[in-house]
């Protein structure tokens, strides 16, 4: 810009990356260029949230997606969950996948549902999100649809797998989830959607690693105790955390609720 002889620059947002962090503005001003801004940090950050989150934390940004019944269950007691939400909600979720670098599930979901974790929209020809599995102690199934998709497997130790394996040992034979999200970010997977199940979601929630939620609430009542969104005890009300509901959208018969954890 200096070489081009620009006279005035309007800056949308400051990049928090320590290698820049506003230093470009200082240089422009030193060269006699009028510099205004940042004029809309929030809007710019919202246009590329994974990038800004990664620059601040070194980790992938996690959007937790879930499909739940009106009484808050992601599956029945026997593990069946297909399909809780309507076709309209599921199509919307595919559009969401198209905006992600990766879609992540736990081994339990891989075993129970054999998901493909890809974007299946009529006429869609854009990039596909990487499939990511968090493995535990059980061997992963030899036959699963994601093996055709060059998946990334995050495991607590060496594991036989048809995908690329990253070993991220944590406590008690579990994957260290914060380290796992640094490993995914290192591979360029900045916006990651976690699609369950409840064990993986509970681990991420417990460690404060859920950065946003998109929950599809179906016009369906389970009418009993099935599987909760998070597989952990909700012991007392003071352990609950507030969230800010950003948006509520009607999708056919269902609702989509977008939220972020409240700050402070």
Q: Are strands 227-228 and 73-75 parallel, antiparallel or unpaired?
A: antiparallel
- Site membership for ligand NAP, residue 84 (CB under 6 A): yes
Q: Are 158 and 165 in contact (CB under 8 A)?
A: yes
Least distance from ligand NAP to the Cβ atom of residue 32, Å: 54
Tell me the C-alpha distance between 68 and 74, whole Å: 5
Only segment of 44-52, 56-64, 193-201, 251-259 that touches ligand NAP (CB under 6 A): 193-201
What is the rounded radius of gyration, in angstroms, for the C-alpha atoms of the chain? 21
- Site membership for ligand NAP, residue 210 (CB under 6 A): no
Q: What does the per-residue mask of binding to ligand NAP show for 139-178, with x meaning CB under 6 A?
A: -----------------x-----------------xx-x-
- Site membership for ligand NAP, residue 108 (CB under 6 A): yes
Residue 88 backbone phi and psi in degrees, to 5: -65, -40
> Residues 173 to 192: which contact ligand NAP by CB under 6 A?
174-175, 177
Q: Are 7 and 14 in contact (CB under 8 A)?
A: no
Task: Choose between 9 and 174: whose C-beta lies nearer to ligand NAP.
Answer: 174
How far apart are the two ends of the chain, measured CA to CA in Å? 39
Task: Choose between 73 and 128: whose C-beta lies nearer to ligand NAP.
Answer: 73
Q: How many residues bind ligand NAP (CB under 6 A)?
A: 31
Tell me the C-alpha distance between 264 and 255, whole Å: 27
Task: Choose between 26 and 77: whose C-beta lies nearer to ligand NAP.
Answer: 77
Least distance from ligand NAP to the Cβ atom of residue 105, Å: 5
Closest by alpha carbon to 136, among 86, 182, 185, 172? 172
Tell me the C-alpha distance between 141 and 162, whole Å: 10
Residues found near ligand NAP in the complex (CB under 6 A): 66-67, 74-75, 79, 81, 84, 105-109, 112-113, 134, 136-138, 156, 174-175, 177, 195-200, 203, 227, 231
């Amino acid at each position: 810009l200096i070489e081009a002889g620009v006279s005035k620059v309007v800056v949308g947002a400051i990049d928090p990356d320590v290698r820049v962090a506003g230093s470009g503005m200082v240089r422009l001003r030193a060269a006699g260029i009028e510099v205004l801004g940042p004029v809309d940090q929030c809007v710019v950050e919202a246009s590329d949230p994974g990038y800004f989150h990664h620059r601040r934390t070194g980790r992938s940004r996690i959007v937790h997606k879930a499909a739940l019944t009106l009484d808050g269950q992601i599956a029945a007691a026997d593990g069946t969950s297909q399909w809780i939400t309507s076709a309209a909600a599921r199509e919307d979720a595919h559009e969401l996948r198209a905006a992600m670098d990766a879609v992540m599930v736990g081994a339990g979901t891989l075993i129970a549902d054999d998901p493909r974790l890809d974007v299946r929209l009529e006429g869609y020809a854009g990039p596909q999100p990487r499939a990511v599995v968090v493995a535990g102690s059980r061997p992963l199934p030899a036959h699963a649809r994601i093996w055709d998709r060059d998946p990334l497997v995050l495991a607590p130790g060496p594991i036989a797998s048809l995908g690329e394996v990253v070993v991220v040992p944590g406590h008690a034979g579990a994957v260290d989830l914060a380290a796992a999200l640094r490993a995914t970010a290192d591979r360029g997977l900045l916006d990651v959607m976690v699609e369950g199940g409840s064990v993986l979601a509970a681990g991420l929630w417990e460690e404060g690693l859920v950065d946003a939620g998109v929950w599809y609430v179906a016009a369906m009542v389970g009418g009993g105790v099935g599987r909760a969104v998070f597989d952990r005890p909700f012991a007392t009300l003071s352990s609950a955390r507030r969230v800010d509901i950003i948006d509520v959208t009607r999708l056919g018969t269902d609702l989509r609720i977008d939220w972020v954890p409240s700050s402070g």
